[in-house]
Amino acid sequence: DFVPLDDISVWTPTAGASEKTLYPRNEKLDQKISLYSGDITKLEIDAIVNAANKSLLGGGGVDGAIHRAAGPMLKKECASLRGCDTGEAKISCGYGLPAKYVIHTVGPIAQGGVGEEEKEALRSCYKNSLRAATTNSARSVAFPCISTGIYGYPPEQAVHEALATVREYLDEHHNKLDRVIFCVFLPMDKELYMKTLPLYFPAA
Ligand code: AR6
């Protein structure tokens, strides 16, 4: 029941779908974005991103799902990585997963509210994960909605940091990546991304 890249449809903006786009169209990015709704552990792509914690030894949420699907060898390699700071990213093999690599990043914990520090940390998660992907020649990478589960970052704010950071990275490095997949798990997040994607990846 793995999902190969070819089965993940490319997100295409509808012309005139949005009045206030935040970035101009970059036609080089037209075939590079996907919005996928479902379990990230099923994706048969180069790299999936894990919303981990500083220990990198596993936990709940998407982290737990990834470790369960990858098997015990993942935890073994993660132990050798000796943790990860907030906003940083470390790469491992995918083991039992259909993805070749797992990029572990640690999102900010949003307690009560989101300040400039949390915002910058979340942006760093996306940027450093993309860097880890391209450094390792991974050309397809999927992101979960980092920090918006157990870590409590408001999804309607997080989506802007996610999309802006990916947009800016792709503007600069479009030749290094074939596809960036936003993997949403909750119906609410799917709606949020459908509504927000045209602001960052407009048709015109
Ligand atoms: N595939 C894709 N997305 C998923 C999946 C899945 N299988 N399962 C959950 N999500 P969370 P965080 C979504 O809590 O907020 C862990 O204990 C979920 O609906 O996994 O960054 C770590 O060890 C949400 O939209 O990550 C840390 O301690 C998104 O993934 C802490 O949780 C992120 O939710 C990290 O918290």
**CB half-sphere exposure, 13, CA atoms < 13 A:** 25
| pTM for the structure as a whole | 0.98
- Judge if the beta carbon of residue 57 lies within 6 A of ligand 1: no
pLDDT (tens place) for every residue of the chain, 204 residues total: 999 999 999 999 876 666 678 999 999 999 999 999 999 999 999 999 999 999 999 999 999 999 999 999 999 999 999 999 999 999 999 999 999 999 999 999 998 789 999 999 999 999 999 999 999 999 999 999 999 999 999 999 999 999 999 999 999 999 999 999 999 999 999 999 999 999 999 986
Distance in Å, CA 109 to ligand 1 centroid: 12
Distance 24 CA to ligand 1 centre (A): 31
DSSP state of 20: S
Give ipTM to 2 decimals: 0.99
Query: 2, 18, 6: which is closest to 181 by C-alpha?
Result: 6
Cα 126 to averaged position of ligand 1 atoms, centre (Å): 15
Give me 149's structure tokens. Answer: 């589960």
Q: Where are the alpha helices (DSSP H) in 45-115?
A: 61-70, 72-80
